[in-house]
Amino acid sequence: MSRAIRIYRVAAAAALRYNVRSLFSDNSFAASVTVDSEETGLYGFPVLKTAKGFRRFVDEAIESAGELASRISQMPPSEEVINAMDEISNTVCSVIDSAELCRNTHPDREFVEEANKASMRISEYLHFLNTNHTLYNAVLMSEQEGSIQSEEARRAAHSLRIDFEKGGIHLPAEKLERVNQLNTQIALLGRQFNENIITDPGHVDVFPASCIPRNMQHHFKPIYRQFLPVDNEPLGLRDKKKEKGFRLVTESSSLSSILKWVSDAEVRKQTYIIGNSVPRANLCVIDKLISSRHELAQIMGCRSYAEFAIRPNMAASPDVVMDFLLTLSNMVRLRADAEFKLIQDYKRTVDNDVRADPEPWDEAYLTGRMKSSACDLDSLVIASYFPTFQCLEGLKLLVQSVFGVTFSSMPFSPGESWHPDVMKLLLHHPQEIVALVCNFPNSRGSSISKLNHWDVETLFHEFGHALHSLFSRTDYQHFSGTRVVLDFAETPSNLFEYYAWDYRVLKTFARHYSTGEVIPEKLVDSMNRARNMFSAMELQRQILYSLIDLTLFGEQPSTPMDTISIVADLKRQCTSWKHVEGTHWHTRFSHLINYGAGYYSYLYAKCFASTIWEKVCRDDPLSLSTGTAIRTKLLQHGGAKDPSNLLRDLAGHSILRSYNGGIVPDTSSLCKEMNL
């Protein structure tokens, strides 16, 4: 589910979706104020005119937060305590998000290093705040005794108290100390997991060079080896002859391209096996992560880490999630098996072997060929209708039609940007002004930058996240935009993916880069047919990922689990595909780190988005009335209201149902959409 294009909010500064389970940060687009002046600094912060400005940035945030904390200690239980806590949160988040954005995007090494240092310093201070009993007691007393008037303030007080207690502040001293140790250990394990992926991507040496399609060869490093000796060949001549090949580094994006486009089955096999067998060091990391999270959950009074992680969400318990996943798995199984049979028949035909079975390294290649053949598709032809500048025009037209706002480019103030290719986009509403920062492919020379349709879908997905933040109008930044429960957060982004596939939307901006021809409706129909050809297997794959995530962090057996066996068994149980012995692809599945028993959230969002599209958007997706309903009933409330109430208000009570103490989405719209 990773996405290639990122959109960052700068409505009040830089922003990045920052994944830390703590009181003052979460998966969200955070913000601070963009300053329009002749001289400013990075992201609009005057203090960030130089890389070393991050040091002062942290100093000022700590000083400001300290003053607020001191004031809170003198306040009686009241709504003012919650307001001051929210201000501390905003102050600290401004530094965290700016540092994260910088260290992930800035081309200058000095800025990256200073942002790293700032991130570590502010994280240490964050730990101090999260273990501050004075602040916790102030929030606790305000929730229990304070005369808090507004519903949002009461919800904020409750949320802040729960966030404090996630860190164990309510526990006896010895247990709190152990919780702190475990949280530190878990953070370090997550960092090690990601570092191992980078340092050990694996590689395969392929000979001869002709095994790799010519249009892909420039992506790989050429290598050479001596030809095998030929009988009676002179020794000197033999030494001079070398065979050219390529070294294929099997990091995720390269592996994906190889498996999709390389016709040589042996090359696909070798890259699949190597790419899914590294980094082996992460097997130990995952074992330690499972153990640490389980101990943490037990100290917190939970049977498993899955229970600890899911309890605050709509689902409320692992049992609810497991039943949802297994029900969905059973619903999709027959259709997925039929799709597998199509692939099997196709392979047997092209291989002229009635006993041939599809291997895991065949899936992307064979399904790609089948889609292209059945739907008469050419990826280069599709991309020709999506030049980057036209896709931006599409977003402009979309937000103007659906939300009644204008969308335009605007210049950076000196020092505000981090690269000359970055653009700043302004969204203007009669009562609101905000800005976005977007990353897009750069044009090379005189060529026109174009997006493949996957990138277009990604753009609309991320734009859904951005709009969730941009239209948010909450009293507390603690609830702003995507700062919602995890199994609701992906709903707007999944909803906006539908816009990237609807011809009524695409015809407003998708034009051929050279002729200006509007994308043909027949081509869009073919794209949608190809999209649906193996949609059951794709849904099955997401169910499998969710089950693996839930099982690994669920209740633990008496002896340490063998994660390779668990992953292999679940794959055999839930899909028609084989498990390849010796592989362990989950050692590169970073969602185990970032989500930890929360990957099911994507499937919740998929179901919610499908219902919203059918009930609210499908008849007239570009109407202002549709946009007004989405904005006023869903997006503008962020996390300030119960998400189940927001969803019901927008799409009707049938969008979800109560089940075993939790909430599960209705699947009927998704089933209808997929012809299940």
Active site residues: 462
Peptide bond into 279 cis (omega under 30): yes
Rg (CA), the chain: 26
Answer yes or no: are the C-beta atoms of 81 and 146 closer than 8 Å.
yes
Residue 387 makes CB contacts below 8 A (sequence gap 6+) with 448, 449, 450, 451, 511, 513
Q: How far apart are CA 167 and CA 244, in angstroms?
A: 57
Helix (H) or strand (E) holding 468: helix 453-470
Answer yes or no: are the C-beta atoms of 534 and 367 closer than 8 Å.
yes
Q: Report CA 256 to chain centroid distance, whole Å.
A: 18
Answer yes or no: are the C-beta atoms of 642 and 585 closer than 8 Å.
no
Beta strands 203-206 and 7-9 are unpaired
Helix (H) or strand (E) holding 428: strand 423-429
Answer yes or no: are the C-beta atoms of 92 and 66 closer than 8 Å.
no
Contacts by 334-342 with C-beta closer than 8 Å and gap 24+?
335/536, 335/674, 335/675, 335/676, 336/536, 336/537, 336/539, 336/540, 336/575, 336/576, 337/576, 338/536, 339/533, 339/534, 339/536, 339/537, 340/537, 340/575, 340/576, 340/577, 342/370
Which amino acid is it at 214?
Answer: R
Q: How far apart are CA 644 and CA 314, in angstroms?
A: 8
3-state secondary structure (DSSP) of residue 406: strand
Answer yes or no: are the C-beta atoms of 466 and 436 closer than 8 Å.
yes
Residue 620 makes CB contacts below 8 A (sequence gap 6+) with 626
Query: 241 vs 206, 223, 228, 605, 654, CA distance in Å?
Result: 17, 13, 9, 58, 71
- Residue 561, class by beta-carbon neighbours within 10 Å (0-12 exposed, 13-18 middle, 19+ buried)? middle
Query: 116 vs 61, 104, 120, 357, 562, CA distance in Å?
Result: 16, 10, 6, 49, 35
Q: How far apart are CA 676 and CA 671, in angstroms?
A: 5
Task: Report the interhelical angle of 363-375 vs 318-351 (nearest 10°).
Answer: 70
DSSP state letter for 615: I
How many C-beta atoms lie closer than 10 Å to residue 174's C-beta?
8
3-state secondary structure (DSSP) of residue 158: helix
Which amino acid is it at 157?
Answer: A
Task: Report the interhelical angle of 252-261 vs 265-275 (nearest 10°).
Answer: 160
